[in-house]
Structure 1
Amino acid sequence: MSDKPDLVNLVNIFFQYAREGNFVELEAMMTDDIEIIESESLPFAGRYTGKKALQNLYTKIMPMLRISEVRQFNLMLGESSVCCEVELIPEGSDEVIELMEMYVFRGDKLCMIKPFYYNHDQVHAVAKANAS
């Protein structure tokens, strides 16, 4: 029997709490120095750090993209990470924003999230349409 945490299950639990907006439980899953790195070419670019990182990012992304559904699939396990495909569905739209996210763990705590959006122009277009 391995002492290694079930990282895929931790990511599934993380997504469950994120869908519920349960930041108390999400923060309990994170290291104090967690970092979320968003590409400089995105409208919500930057490095978000600390236990409030995800909540701070959500306050930018949710009004900007108006996400009504998040789907995750094809979870791929690394040594201390999990990558998965993610689809963001903006409300009232047939757009699907596709991305890959890497979740890095220190033990059983999440210490980094690094998303990769396939089409930055699409993200900007959705944000612009929602700003109108």
Structure 2
Amino acid sequence: MDTNLYNQIKNQINHLYELTAAGKWDEVEEQLTDDFCIIEADSLPFGGTFNGKNSLQRLYTHVFEFWEDPDLEFHDMTISENNVVCLLTFHATSRHNGERLAMKITEVFHLRGDKICGITPYYFDTAAIAKATGTPLD
């Protein structure tokens, strides 16, 4: 991959994180394909498949029914022409019991052309998340 494309993709993903954190949902939607899809593990209290350009906003709103005081710590990013893998730690306080969690996450961004067509997050410890949010695993 040439350096220009690498930097373009890296900036695009970083910009999406910035827009999402700022709640600039119209600008977020400009970065996504019409058939955008984000899939959260069913074992999470906010698990499921979310489709469409507004799905990231809907998921974000749902996630923060469980958490407050969020902070995202970036560790690394790996980029190819069709996917970006971000290694993160999501720090947040449970609205259920006040516990502060440091949740290790790998987020895989799926790219099509100059847009993001999907995100697949992988949480390291869904059991700890279920406990902190009062939504035990079945």
TM-score, structure 2 as length reference: 0.84
**Alpha-carbon deviations, 1:29-55, whole Å to 9, x = none?**
000100000111111111100011011
Q: Does 1:112 align with 2:118?
A: yes
Indicate if the aligned counterparts of 1:88 and 1:98 stay in contact, CA closer than 8 A: yes
Aligned-partner Cα distance in 2 for 1:73–1:105: 21
Superposed displacement of residue 93, structure 1? 4.7
The Cα RMSD (Å) is 2.0
Equivalent residue for 2:62? 60
Task: Give, in whole Å, the separation in 2 of the partners of 1:95 and 1:37.
Answer: 22
Is the 1:65–1:90 Cα contact (8 Å) retained in structure 2? yes
Instruction: Find 1:7's aligned residue among 6, 9, 32.
Output: 9
Unaligned runs of 5+ in 2: none
For 2:34, give the aligned amino acid: D
**SS in structure 1 at match of 2:64:** helix
Pairwise CA distance, 1:70:
1.7
**TM-score, normalised to structure 1's length?**
0.88
Stretches of structure 1 that go unaligned for 5 or more consecutive residues are none
Give aligned-pair identity as a percent.
28
Amino acid at match of 1:100: T
- Tell whether the 8 Å contact from 1:65 to 1:126 is kept in structure 2 after alignment: no
Shift of 1:66: 2.2
| 2:47 paired with 1:41 | no
